[in-house]
Chain A
Amino acid sequence: DAGITQSPRHKVTETGTPVTLRCHQTENHRYMYWYRQDPGHGLRLIHYSYGVKDTDKGEVSDGYSVSRSKTEDFLLTLESATSSQTSVYFCASAGEGEKLFFGSGTQLSVL
């Protein structure tokens, strides 16, 4: 399986603080994605990237920003965390074959 790691695995933070989640892949995949998973909503796309410095918004991008300065790294930043951003965050990557490889997730709690 593709090597894709997320850090941290768990994070507890306070409302109004900035938070950065990291995703690292070792497969030289072109595409990378950030999803959030919430009960009753399944997976919702936050942002995605189709190359270094090439990113675009997903369906729930408000309050989030991303950066991709290297092929292997995709960062998700919550500029000022809110309680509604408490969720499990998944990163995924894909080569040209559309199959997604997922990380193990980050459980984020905003108090």
Chain B
Amino acid sequence: GDSVTQMEGPVTLSEEAFLTINCTYTATGYPSLFWYVQYPGEGLQLLLKATKADDKGSNKGFEATYRKETTSFHLEKGSVQVSDSAVYFCALSSASGGSYIPTFGRGTSLIVHP
């Protein structure tokens, strides 16, 4: 079945540091790929998405590129802020019998210090 593997956290950075959170996936067919963010005490919200190979999703300074050859969708940001502290989930969505079945990674906690 489909699966998503992302780097374990927590990832601890100083403000303005460069961020990379690795994500790889296994799926049949051509899934869409997503990054969701969860702030403390809240539900997840979509950060960015990409629907086909070589697409780049971007939002709020975060970027990720759909790499089919390496089955990866790594999240990057050039300069993190304290307000970026949250848990980040990589996910894929593939069609199955007419339904979309989202599969999530285990999440990576990011802690940014001033």
Instruction: List residues of chain A with CB within 8 A of the CB of B32.
Output: 98
Closest chain-B Cβ to A44's Cβ sits at a distance in Å of 8
Could you say which of A31, A42, A92 contacts B107, with CB atoms under 8 Å apart? A42
- Decide if A94 is an interface residue (CB 8 Å cutoff): yes
Complex Cα–Cα for A58 and B11 (A): 30
Chain A residue numbers with a CB within 8 Å of B62 are none
**Among B43, B45, B49, residue most surrounded by chain A Cβ atoms (within 10 Å):** B43
Q: Cβ of A100: which chain B residues have Cβ within 8 Å of it?
A: 34, 36, 44, 46, 102
A102 shortest CB reach to chain B, Å:
3
> How far is A50 from B102 in the complex, measured between Cα atoms in Å?
13
Task: Verify A43–B101 contact, CB threshold 8 A.
Answer: no
Interface of B is mostly: strand
Known A-B contacts A98-B93, A100-B36; A50 and B43 likewise in contact (beta carbons under 8 Å): no
Q: Does A14 contact B (CB under 8 A)?
A: no
Please report whether the interface of chain A is mostly helix, strand, loop or mixed according to DSSP: strand
A90 in contact with B106 (CB, 8 Å): no
Interface residue tally for chain A (C-beta within 8 Å): 23
Query: What CA separation (Å) do A40 and B45 show in the bound complex?
Result: 20
B28 at the interface (CB under 8 A from A): no
Q: Which single member of A31, A90, A99 contacts B49 (CB below 8 Å)?
A: A99
What 0/1 pattern do residues 81 to 100 of A give for CB contact below 8 A with B?
00000000010101000111
Complex contacts, A45 vs chain B, CB 8 Å: 101-103
Name the residue of chain A whose CB is nearest to the CB of B87. Answer: A42
Q: Does A74 contact B (CB under 8 A)?
A: no
CB within 8 Å of B: which A1-60 residues? 1, 31, 33, 35, 40-45, 48, 50, 56
Pull 28 A–B residue pairs with CB atoms less than 8 Å apart, ordered by A.
A1-B45, A31-B99, A31-B100, A35-B104, A40-B106, A41-B106, A42-B104, A42-B105, A42-B106, A42-B107, A45-B101, A45-B102, A92-B43, A92-B44, A92-B102, A94-B100, A98-B34, A98-B100, A98-B102, A99-B46, A99-B49, A100-B102, A102-B44, A102-B45, A104-B41, A104-B42, A104-B43, A105-B42
